Chains A and B, each alone.
Chain A
Amino acid sequence: MLKRRSVLVGLGAAALSPSLSWADAQSPSFLSAARAVDGSYHLCGLSDGGAVLFSIPLPDRGHAAAAHPVRPEAVAFARRPGRFALIVDCATGQEAHRLTPPPDRHFYGHGVFSADGSMLFTTENDLDTLDGRIGLWDAANGYARIGDMPSGGVGPHDIERLPGTDTLVIANGGIATHPESGRTPLNLATMRPNLAYLGPDGEMLEVVELDTALRFNSIRHLDVRPDGLVAAGMQWNGSEAEHPPLILTHRMGETAQLLEAPAQSQRKMIGYVGSITFQSGGAQVAVTSPRGGLMQVFDAETGAFLSDIALEDACGISTLSSGQSLITSGVGSIWGYDAGALTQLGQTSWAWDNHLIAI
């Protein structure tokens, strides 16, 4: 996840904008959706030490969020197949605006802004064809819906932008679902996930598919390093007897690399990566598996497995510009991880949802 505030300082972007910038805001370092003790759903802003700075009620369970590159605002998405996204003023911690997709679309839970912040891209489902779409919203004009374009696959989930460009990278998970049949997969017999690179105008630049033996590996979550290296976390929908690699790294124009832990650690992941992040200045890739109650760390360059740590129901993970990562769990824990050392930063009453988003 890009550290937008540090980027901004570098660009002097605050000076270009007459309105409030991230630098003016007492803004959080992270956002995360969460469930409160009373069962209600919220979006929370967290400090870099893991303190909860604000919470905003959500109509239903949330999922991920995306930060605007200039204005101190973020968009928080409904969990799929949700139909809301909240624009949050991070200076005040208030809901500023709400997005609703067209009637024949729903959100998948992730989105990303264009480099200049004028456009918001959201992963969506076409409810008639079950093809993946990327929704386009005019972030310079009150988030008016502009239209949409093909995602290059089925079940697009996470979406990121290659740093310094408006090239989009999309994790097309490959799994077709329809809200009328809940979250149950409709196309396991034919599923074929991919990692797709799209120009901002929808031009398909590159599509990466893994070997057919891995076609049950749903490519779902992404992180991008400043030099354009993409890391993707996968979720295995094939035989529980198999423990295939759950991480790929890829750079445009090159071949994808698979990262795999030794057999016993790999098995403990239960075929599931919940979140993925580059950490330690991009030298490492870390993933969480709430199903396995495990975090794994790999060398981003060599792909070598470095370590694993048991963390109950851990899922959210994201990295500060310092290189330190924060990890959240469904049982309220917040941990810091830096240079191989894990520190418990807090034990809250919030059930932290799948993703922790650095802003």
Chain B
Amino acid sequence: MLRTFSLCLAILMPVTATAQSEADITAAIVDDHILPRYAALVVETMALAEVADSSCQPGDPALQAAFHDAFDAWIAVSHITFGPAETDGRYFALSFWPDTRSMTGRSLSTLIADADPIVSTAEAYATVSVAARGLYALEFLLFDPEVSTAGEDAYRCALVQAITADIAATAAQIEADWTGTFAALMRGAGSNDRFQSPDEALRVLFGSLTTGLEFTADLRLGRPLGTFDAPRAARAEARRSGRSLRHVALSLQSLADLADRLATGDPGLRQALADRFDIALDAAARLDDPIFAGVDDPQGRLRVEALQQRVQEVRDLVSSELGPKLGVAAGFNSLDGD
């Protein structure tokens, strides 16, 4: 009897050792994927606000370097849009893009033209339109030829300081909510009302992966591609600071890490996902076109399209293989409604 029992254990052990429970996968993603990225965002955005305190002019190399570091940190975690990031519209306050109605440039120009005193504190600045807040607005102030030279230097300086302080405050709020309450809710999925079962938490994380891939394929690449007859290079994300392609690569790196963790327990799928992500990342690394200016000529366009196609192939694998593994409904209507 005892012998039979231990034989069963021996057979079962390897299975349970590789097939981690859903709760463990969620906990690992929270602890090793999300929290470190938000912690890095807090560090980099605080550093940015500190640099801006002493160096607020657009051409300042230290300010530009701090801007790039903070933006890198944001793109690496910008797919985690749920929970603390959606409280009080924080996500949009950090990240107002795409801007189909050119609201960012107009909002900033109006503030500058009026020398609006709302820039006196970060708290006050947090009440302005989201179009004039966050990293994309800061990019305008540092790199847009018109906005970066409009009005008085002193006012624009105060504006840069208000925006960077507001960015740092928003990042700190998101991180504080994650470490304070939200991480525990995700780890404890199934024993609280926010996440009523472990797979609810896992599905939210899967949603971050698919939405992140969609954002990169359809917006980061699709917007500048436009159509063959009407390419739209001017719509490339963060083109003023030369970051368009960089955002594609940074987002793919983060999404590859998330996908790998979601596929825990399925070595074959992990390898397949890693391979597809590597192909896409390789295409990004070999594309010598940082702001997708090449979409204007047929050759250059083809290469950006090819990169988009590689991202699309990642999406296909994620929805056909990873989704079903995580129990996400993939019906004709449920997957793709309208």
What residues of chain A have their CB less than 8 Å away from a CB belonging to chain B? 35, 63, 79-80, 109, 130, 157, 176, 178, 180-184, 186-190, 220, 235, 238-241, 267, 272, 274, 290-291, 293, 312-315, 329-331, 351-354
Pair B214/A329 contact, Cβ less than 8 Å: no
In whole Å, how far is B96's beta carbon from the nearest beta carbon of chain A? Answer: 6
Q: How far is the CA of A188 from the CA of B211 in the complex (A)?
A: 13
Which residues of A are found within 8 Å of B106, using beta-carbon distances?
A: none
Which residues of A are found within 8 Å of B194, using beta-carbon distances?
A: 241
The DSSP consensus for interface residues of chain A is: loop
Of B86, B98, B333, which is within 8 A of A186 by CB?
B98
Which residues of B are found within 8 Å of A291, using beta-carbon distances?
A: 329, 334, 337
Q: How far is the CA of A109 from the CA of B336 in the complex (A)?
A: 14
Q: Which residue of A lies closest to B329 (CB)?
A: A291
Pair B92/A188 contact, Cβ less than 8 Å: yes
Pair B92/A313 contact, Cβ less than 8 Å: no
Known contacts: A189-B130, A274-B337. The answer to whether A312 contacts B82 by CB under 8 A is: no
Pair A181/B338 contact, Cβ less than 8 Å: no
Pair A290/B334 contact, Cβ less than 8 Å: yes
Known contacts: A189-B96, A351-B332. The answer to whether A184 contacts B337 by CB under 8 A is: no
Known contacts: A63-B338, A109-B338, A240-B82. The answer to whether A184 contacts B215 by CB under 8 A is: yes
**Is the CB of B232 closer than 8 A to any CB of chain A?**
yes
Pair B223/A313 contact, Cβ less than 8 Å: no
In whole Å, how far is B295's beta carbon from the nearest beta carbon of chain A? Answer: 11
Known: A79-B338, A157-B338. 10 other contacts (CB 8 A): A187-B100, A241-B82, A274-B337, A290-B333, A313-B329, A330-B332, A330-B334, A331-B332, A351-B332, A352-B333
In whole Å, how far is B300's beta carbon from the nearest beta carbon of chain A? Answer: 17
In whole Å, how far is A110's beta carbon from the nearest beta carbon of chain B? Answer: 10
Pair A312/B331 contact, Cβ less than 8 Å: yes
Pair A186/B337 contact, Cβ less than 8 Å: no
Q: Can you give 21 contacting A-B residue pairs, CB < 8 Å?
A: A63-B338, A176-B100, A180-B227, A181-B98, A182-B222, A184-B219, A184-B222, A188-B92, A189-B96, A189-B130, A220-B338, A239-B86, A240-B204, A267-B196, A272-B337, A274-B333, A274-B337, A313-B329, A314-B333, A351-B332, A354-B338
Known contacts: A176-B100, A180-B227. The answer to whether A293 contacts B334 by CB under 8 A is: yes
Pair B329/A184 contact, Cβ less than 8 Å: no
User: Interface centre among B207, B222, B337, by most A CB within 10 Å?
Assistant: B337
Pair A331/B214 contact, Cβ less than 8 Å: no
Q: How many residues of B contact A (CB 8 A)?
A: 33
What residues of chain B have their CB less than 8 Å away from a CB belonging to chain A? 82-83, 86, 89, 92, 96, 98, 100, 103, 130-131, 194, 196, 204, 207, 214-215, 217-219, 222-223, 225-227, 232, 329, 331-334, 337-338
Pair A354/B337 contact, Cβ less than 8 Å: yes
Q: How far is the CA of A178 from the CA of B98 in the complex (A)?
A: 12
Pair A180/B232 contact, Cβ less than 8 Å: yes
Which residues of A are found within 8 Å of B131, using beta-carbon distances?
A: 189
In whole Å, how far is A7's beta carbon from the nearest beta carbon of chain B? Answer: 28
Q: How far is the CA of A315 from the CA of B334 in the complex (A)?
A: 8
Pair B337/A240 contact, Cβ less than 8 Å: no
In whole Å, how far is B107's beta carbon from the nearest beta carbon of chain A? Answer: 12
Q: How far is the CA of A272 from the CA of B98 in the complex (A)?
A: 25
Q: How far is the CA of A331 from the CA of B334 in the complex (A)?
A: 11
Q: How far is the CA of A235 from the CA of B196 in the complex (A)?
A: 21
Which residues of A are found within 8 Å of B225, using beta-carbon distances?
A: 180
Pair B100/A290 contact, Cβ less than 8 Å: no
Which residues of B are found within 8 Å of A235, using beta-carbon distances?
A: 337
Known contacts: A180-B227, A182-B214, A182-B222. The answer to whether A329 contacts B333 by CB under 8 A is: yes
Which residues of B are found within 8 Å of A329, using beta-carbon distances?
A: 331, 333
Pair B100/A130 contact, Cβ less than 8 Å: yes
Pair B207/A240 contact, Cβ less than 8 Å: yes
In whole Å, how far is B135's beta carbon from the nearest beta carbon of chain A? Answer: 14
Which residues of B are found within 8 Å of A189, using beta-carbon distances?
A: 89, 92, 96, 130-131
Pair B223/A180 contact, Cβ less than 8 Å: yes
Q: Which residue of B lies closest to A187 (CB)?
A: B100
Which residues of A are found within 8 Å of B337, using beta-carbon distances?
A: 235, 272, 274, 290-291, 315, 354
Which residues of B are found within 8 Å of A184, using beta-carbon distances?
A: 214-215, 218-219, 222
Which residues of A are found within 8 Å of B334, using beta-carbon distances?
A: 290-291, 293, 313, 330
Which residues of A are found within 8 Å of B89, using beta-carbon distances?
A: 189
Q: How far is the CA of A109 from the CA of B83 in the complex (A)?
A: 33
Q: Which residue of B lies closest to A63 (CB)?
A: B338
Q: Which residue of A lies closest to B92 (CB)?
A: A189
User: Interface centre among A181, A267, A352, by most B CB within 10 Å?
Assistant: A181
Q: How far is the CA of A37 from the CA of B331 in the complex (A)?
A: 14
Pair B218/A330 contact, Cβ less than 8 Å: no
Q: How far is the CA of A331 from the CA of B337 in the complex (A)?
A: 14
In whole Å, how far is B324's beta carbon from the nearest beta carbon of chain A? Answer: 14
Q: How far is the CA of A190 from the CA of B97 in the complex (A)?
A: 11
Q: How far is the CA of A35 from the CA of B335 in the complex (A)?
A: 14
In whole Å, how far is A217's beta carbon from the nearest beta carbon of chain B? Answer: 15
